[in-house]
Chains A and B, each alone.
Chain A
Amino acid sequence: DSGVTQTPKHLITATGQRVTLRCSPRSGDLSVYWYQQSLDQGLQFLIQYYNGEERAKGNILERFSAQQFPDLHSELNLSSLELGDSALYFCASSSRASYEKLFFGSGTQLSVL
């Protein structure tokens, strides 16, 4: 158990819909990362937050947004969903902003039908 909790584990929705993925980092960790893993693809970096502030942005679509709340949990919002958004979404946390290993949750499997 990494200590990082992601909910829900599975999500099935239709095109055009909006969903929210939730992540609770390890206790004390200030940094939260979101990654997308599509079929046979590596981990594509989406966005990183550190202590409530956006720190880095990767290949995150404009239809996607995220935030980190004062209690340090984070949410990833995906809107106007398309079939291609079907993927495994991972959240990871670390205590520092950089130079430290990440602890990953078990992921949210999103299926857009």
Chain B
Amino acid sequence: DQQVKQNSPSLSVQEGRISILNCDYTNSMFDYFLWYKKYPAEGPTFLISISSIKDKNEDGRFTVFLNKSAKHLSLHIVPSQPGDSAVYFCAAQSSNNDMRFGAGTRLTVKP
């Protein structure tokens, strides 16, 4: 059951440009959303989160946007840097739910 979907397995952008990673969810009970970043041979690390009472949260170069009516969230990275190259996972949770993850999007930032 794919309650959290990341439909783009990969994304390639040029250094300095914007990276936009997308995520859709189906469970309307989800009200807390997170993005994680994963490098090879390491566990995922938390990047940024947003609760459903907000539609935007910003932390430095990273901004997460939430569109509840569309059940869609996105992660914007501006400007993108080669060190941002990693797999990005979207995750969602509600008070009664465990945390569910998408399949991930592999971001490659080219110098």
Contacts and interface: CB of A to CB of B under 8 A. Distances in A.
Interface of A: 2, 4, 33, 35, 40-45, 48, 55-56, 58-59, 90, 92, 98-99, 101-107
A99 B98 contact: no
Interface-central residue, B43, B46, B97, B104, by most chain A CB under 10 Å? B43
B89 A106 contact: no
B45 interface: yes
A41 B95 contact: no
B101 A98 contact: no
User: Binding site of B, secondary structure by majority: helix, strand, loop or mixed?
Assistant: loop
Interface string B26-50: 0000001010100001111110010
B46 A33 contact: no
B78 interface: no
8 contacts: A2-B43, A33-B98, A42-B104, A45-B99, A56-B97, A59-B1, A90-B43, A90-B44
Interface of B: 1, 6, 9, 32, 34, 36, 41-46, 49, 51, 89, 93-104
Give 8 nearest A-B pairs by CB, closest first.
A104-B43, A42-B103, A56-B98, A43-B101, A101-B46, A48-B98, A104-B44, A106-B43
B44 A42 contact: no
